[in-house]
């Protein structure tokens, strides 16, 4: 059975790309605007005398195409996965903190439901 595509892996994005989709893939991976990535790439080409062009084609040749099932239309989900790629430990701490908060709230609800609430019991008896 094939392994599902990873949301933390770099993929080239041919659908949004101009040449091979490497700049569009970098933009998707980092969360930067694709135009900014393209401008930065062109600046590095001119500043390096063209020595980065072979690196671009090597990246385009080695990198996998972005799978169809990995695209997300939800902006919040895209930001989440970009955050995971940028700082996995920070993302894990945030998720852990959110689970602790949910656990605390559930414990508060459980203690309220299971505790003796004499006022509520009296109101129920009055309704009978």
Q: What is the mean pLDDT of the chain?
A: 82
Tell whether 18 and 58 lie within a shared domain.
yes
- Dump pLDDT digits (tens) for 87-124: 778 888 888 999 999 999 999 888 877 777 777 778 88
pLDDT at 8 over 80: no
State whether 9 and 46 are in the same domain. yes
- How sure is the predictor about 5, in pLDDT bands with cuts at 50, 70 and 90? low
Do 106 and 79 fall into the same domain?
A: no
Q: Is the pLDDT of residue 81 over 70?
A: yes
pLDDT at 7 over 80: no
The whole domain housing 119 covers: 87-128
Q: Does 104 lie in the same domain as 45?
A: no
66, 95: one domain: no
Pairwise pLDDT comparison (55 vs 1), residue with the higher score: 55
> Considering all CA atoms of the chain, what is the largest pairwise distance in Å, rounded to the nearest integer?
88
**Do 95 and 56 lie in a common domain?**
no
In this structure, are 58 and 112 located in the same domain?
no
Q: How many domains does the chain have?
A: 2
Kindly tell me if the per-residue pLDDT of 63 is higher than 60.
Answer: yes
Residues 93 and 80 in one domain: no
């Amino acid at each position: 059975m094939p392994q599902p595509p990873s949301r933390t892996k770099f993929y080239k994005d041919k659908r949004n790309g101009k040449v091979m989709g490497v700049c569009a893939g970098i933009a998707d991976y980092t969360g930067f605007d694709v135009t900014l990535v393209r401008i930065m790439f062109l600046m590095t080409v001119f500043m390096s005398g063209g020595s980065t062009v072979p690196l671009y084609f090597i990246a385009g040749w080695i990198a996998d195409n972005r799978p169809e099932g990995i695209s997300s239309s939800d902006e919040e989900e895209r930001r989440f996965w970009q955050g995971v790629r940028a700082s996995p430990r920070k993302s894990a701490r945030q998720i852990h903190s959110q689970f602790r908060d949910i656990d605390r709230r559930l414990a508060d609800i459980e203690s309220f439901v299971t505790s003796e609430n004499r006022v509520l019991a009296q109101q129920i008896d009055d309704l009978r």
